[in-house]
A and B are shown apart, each in its own frame.
Chain A
Amino acid sequence: MVRSRKVLLVICYLGMAGFVSQGMSFGASFPTKSIDLYIPFAPGGISDTMGRALAPRLGEVLGQPIVPVNKPGASGALAVSLLSKAKPDGYTILIVSNSSLTVVPHFENLGYDPLADFNYLCKTYDQTSMLVVPTDSPWKTFEEVIDFAKKNPKKVKYGTWGQFSGVHIAMEAIGKEKGIEWGHIPFKGEGPVVPALLGKHVDLGVLAPGGVPHIKAGKLRLLLVLQGFRSKTFPDAPCFKDAGIKFNGKGSSELMSGIIAPKGLPSDIVKKYEDALKEAVKSPEFLKASATLGIEPQFLPGNEFRKEIEEGNRHVGAVIRQLDLKK
């Protein structure tokens, strides 16, 4: 009898421990325990730095610590996939790069619907993707590249950070529009593109934040920013409009990031997040990190961010069909 009572007691303790560890909040308002911020890339990268810069102020406003958790994989799509399966209690959010929502779903089914499976909380920043050449390249302007490519089909080789990445799609669309054929050399990530350019193994390259230090150091020349409007980081560089390109980079070469959560979040929690995030993107840590990395912060409320992503997703789908890019 004594033994079974002890066992019963132990089971009760264990049960309580398990119960308590779930962080049940009886009547207390959100949040009552720390929040996980999934970061879809490895530490040291842009998403990681920006996520960690956002966390302090966000945690302050919400009243609970924000814990950055790196979940790298599948170029950022793994974290998105994991988020879609997380509990919609507001304790798991993700800093997402738009390509996981506007490009990847057209090529792979990784278990999530980019629009239906998530609550969009806000947009945080933009990044400029750039077409660059080594400084000692004979081409000084984008027009010179196009001229050369017209006369020498298939000779010009450009490197990007991935096959069927948003910028690859954009480059193919631009090539078609200008009536040229250039060869895509896919690399694994942005890292290998820089030495390939500096070592003259490829003629052109597309870079985003990784290119900023090299452009500023004078090793790479920026020919074109791959978006329809001038970039704040490099205001003198030509954009699509300047180069007479009609292609719209929405969803593909226009890179943006925001915060999303699994669908089904109660509306009061969504509102709390929107207000808190509005504060967090104004924080000195966030602004300082943006300036250092060449990021352009921009806050948009959740529903507007969703509209951007929706538009981008649709647009990329249309471009893929037009270019017949399906593998």
Chain B
Amino acid sequence: MDFLGHLFVGFQVCLQPANLLLAFLGCLIGTLVGVLPGLGPTATISLLLPTSFHITPVGALILLSGIYYGAMYGGSTTSILVNIPGEAASVVTCLDGYEMAKRGRAGPALGIAAFASFIAGTASIVGLMLLAPPLAEMALKFGPPEYTTLMILGLTVLTFLVKGSMAKALLMAALGLFISTIGLDAVSGVARFSFNRAELMDGIGLVPVVMGLFGISEVLLNLEQAVGREILQGKFKDYLPTREDWRKSALPILRGSALGFVLGILPGGGAVLASFVSYAIEKKVSRYPEQFGSGAIEGVAGPEAANNSATGGAFIPLLTLGIPANVVMAILLGAMMIHGLQPGPNLINEHPDVFWGVITSMYLGNVMLLVLNLPLIGLWVQVLRVPYSLFFPLILLFCLIGAYSIANAAFDILIMIVFGIIGYLMKKTDYEGAPLVLALVLGNLFENALRQSLMLSDGSFLIFFQRPIAAVFIWASIIFLLIPLVPWLKKKRPAVGE
């Protein structure tokens, strides 16, 4: 356990002035990108990839990673202030964060989000450092059956997100599942609902849908009705979370960190799923679940911790096995290969300076981000004062640019606008967007994993009960589904006994 030695090597690398500057630059760009609705770390990292050729491999990784986890910090800002998620993983923060802002508590919401992100981010790096190889091995045990049952659990958990009518929410979830089927089916090779258009072959992308459903629709709604927003007129002190806030957020942050870390390691899991599940868990264990949806700070602390911790977790399969856990990691993998670094289990041996340099720079990055974000809270809160008539064209502009920047496709802009209109109609009729998004994220993954599992088992459904990890998830889902029946059964029994 030569950790001090490793850390020493790492800090030697990341404290070099050039690398420090790159870390700061990455965090800054990442925060900006996260704050701006539409632009995401994926597009930004792709854009900066060519410029990274001119710097050292370590420097390039430090810069690009900084953008990634910086974006997770920034993503919550617009979610809280204007109900528009900066990132798909910040959708959940909109639910309670914006409500807090409406009640004049934007500062504490932003503060808790920043602190939760810092604590979770740091925790995930510690986890990465200490547990990387064994966790990576464990992640390998996740095959199609484990993913199937995990997705089932995720879909079950969806019901806890619901604020209003359950029937409406389930309808939206069904719609999300339907939309996820559009495109070329990975297993049968059949193109579904693609109308022979190449653009629809890959289905409807998550990011344009989220931006439309939550971003464009919010702008449309606000144009129609002036939304009263109380802006806190207090001192900087009032911008920070109170002791009470901290007391309430402590456990959610811990739970969110653990959850996010684990889900981040799994290829295909990630920050979006982690934030949704964290929200559901916090609502479930809370003593006053009815407050969720009207400004419960736990609903901000938990998911924010989860999505930041997931970014740390996502690095594990990349750095230890050379397997990318999500799209951003895949780009980083490409960056490593371009710079001549062979990703894989030997990276830690062949290039310990790179491995530990990147990890230690992540510590520094998290500190830099906290320092960057906290003072900015006052600034962001003031931004709310800008008349909406000046504000919304900018929001629309960034959404449009962001949608195009995903894949240089005008089609994504169209999707965003279509879902913007749908989202507007949904908001007017009290249909919730969160279940739709979660179902959209999970639908594809679930269906592919299910069919791959059945192909592996030659058609037997027992595979989900025979493999230990899968069995845990599926029994958990069954229990979750049956729990609500318990009070009903209890009520029935006296009647039966008579």
Contacts and interface: CB of A to CB of B under 8 A. Distances in A.
B345 A163 contact: no
Contacts of A48: 334
Nearest to B185: A163
A219 B448 CA distance: 26
B338 A49 contact: yes
B17 interface: no
A191 interface: yes
A213 B331 contact: no
Given A52-B50, A107-B189, A163-B187, A292 B143 contact: no
Given A185-B455, A191-B324, A217-B344, A49 B334 contact: yes
Interface residues of B, number: 53
Interface string A184-197: 11111001101110
A183 B407 contact: no
Size bin of chain A's contact surface: 35 or more
Contacts of A180: none
B49 A44 contact: yes
Interface stretch (B194-202, B390-398, B487-495): B194-202
Contacts of B139: 195
Given A71-B409, A111-B196, A195-B267, A44 B202 contact: no
A78 B198 contact: yes
Interface string B160-195: 000000000000000000000000111111110000
Interface in A166-220: 183-188, 191-192, 194-196, 198-199, 201-202, 213-214, 216-217, 219
A108 B198 CA distance: 9
Interface in A249-281: none
A230 interface: no
A318 interface: no
B335 interface: yes
Interface in B39-59: 45-46, 49-50
Given A52-B50, A73-B199, A187 B346 contact: no
B269 to A, nearest CB: 12
A63 interface: no
Interface string A42-72: 1111001100100000000000000011111
Interface string B197-228: 01101100000000000000000000000000
Quick one: which of B189, B196, B202 has the most chain A CB within 10 A? B189
Contacts of B141: 199
A22 interface: no
Given A44-B335, A187-B186, A219-B344, A72 B407 contact: yes
B457 to A, nearest CB: 10
Nearest to B324: A191
A327 B448 contact: no
B182 to A, nearest CB: 13
B49 A43 contact: yes
Nearest to B191: A108
Interface string B445-458: 00010001001101
A293 B324 contact: no
A110 B141 CA distance: 38
Nearest to A217: B344
A82 B191 CA distance: 18
A44 B334 contact: yes
A71 B201 contact: no
Interface string B320-339: 01111001001111110110
A147 B198 CA distance: 42
B407 A157 contact: no
Contact of B344 (A77, A111, A214, A327): A214
B143 A201 contact: yes
A214 to B, nearest CB: 6
Interface of A: 42-45, 48-49, 52, 68-75, 77-78, 81-82, 107-111, 154, 157, 162-164, 183-188, 191-192, 194-196, 198-199, 201-202, 213-214, 216-217, 219, 289, 292-293, 327
